[in-house]
């Protein structure tokens, strides 16, 4: 049997309330739980002929990609538009993450150009530019852009400074926050059903 520790906190309650009923909504939540579980259980990717440092950078990026995928599924299942969210970070961590990301993706750098160019939605691009210019601290636009960048091949650990311990910590905090937000959406669903 699968280890329950990697499922969302409220998954057992959801299953108890919904039972075995099949519905399109249930399929979205099942997909969410599978992606959440993959992200929560992911530790690292193992590579041959890459340095440990590069492997850690790729591993942090993969975890962020998996976590954002779970978040997207939770948003679809709960009919929440994934365009703004208060990610679960305390104020000190939030300020640290925002300051570091703005520095990593500074104006006129290849990293920033790749990040902005990985976004096709005009609305998301505008919110990303506002974030990078210090206009707000909503982390969702940069998480979405990083997800696009990682998934579509514009991302490299060297190009985004992801080889540093600091940047890996940022990616880990973002991943953790996305999973917490996803579980909050499931908790709201459970409350509606209960």
Phi and psi at 120, nearest 5°, equal -100, -25
Say yes or no to pLDDT of 84 above 60.
no
Give pLDDT, residue 1.
33
The span from the CA of 122 to the CA of 125, in Å, is 5
Indicate the domain borders of the chain. 4-193
* Contact status, residue 139 vs residue 98, Cβ threshold 8 Å: yes
Alpha-helix runs per DSSP H in 118-161: 122-132, 140-151
* pLDDT tens, residue by residue, 23-37: 788 899 999 999 999
* Contact status, residue 188 vs residue 74, Cβ threshold 8 Å: no
86 — pLDDT class (breaks 50, 70, 90): low
pTM of the complete model: 0.88
């Amino acid at each position: 049997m699968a280890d329950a520790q990697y499922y969302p906190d409220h998954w057992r309650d959801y299953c108890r309330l919904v039972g075995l009923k099949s519905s399109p909504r249930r399929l979205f939540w099942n997909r969410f739980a599978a992606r959440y579980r993959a992200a929560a259980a992911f530790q690292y990717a193992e590579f041959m002929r890459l340095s440990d440092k590069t492997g850690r950078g790729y591993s942090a990026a993969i975890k962020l990609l998996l976590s954002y995928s779970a978040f997207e599924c939770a948003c679809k299942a709960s009919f929440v538009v994934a365009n703004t969210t208060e990610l679960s970070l305390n104020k000190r961590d939030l300020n640290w993450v925002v300051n570091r990301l703005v520095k990593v993706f500074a104006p006129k750098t290849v990293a920033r150009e790749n990040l902005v160019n990985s976004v096709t939605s005009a609305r998301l691009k505008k919110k990303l530019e506002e974030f990078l210019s210090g206009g707000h601290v909503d982390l969702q636009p940069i998480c979405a852009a990083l997800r696009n960048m990682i998934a579509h091949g514009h991302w490299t650990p060297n190009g985004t400074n992801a080889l540093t311990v600091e940047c890996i910590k940022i990616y880990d905090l973002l991943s953790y926050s996305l999973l917490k937000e996803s579980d909050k959406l499931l908790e709201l669903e459970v409350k509606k059903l209960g």
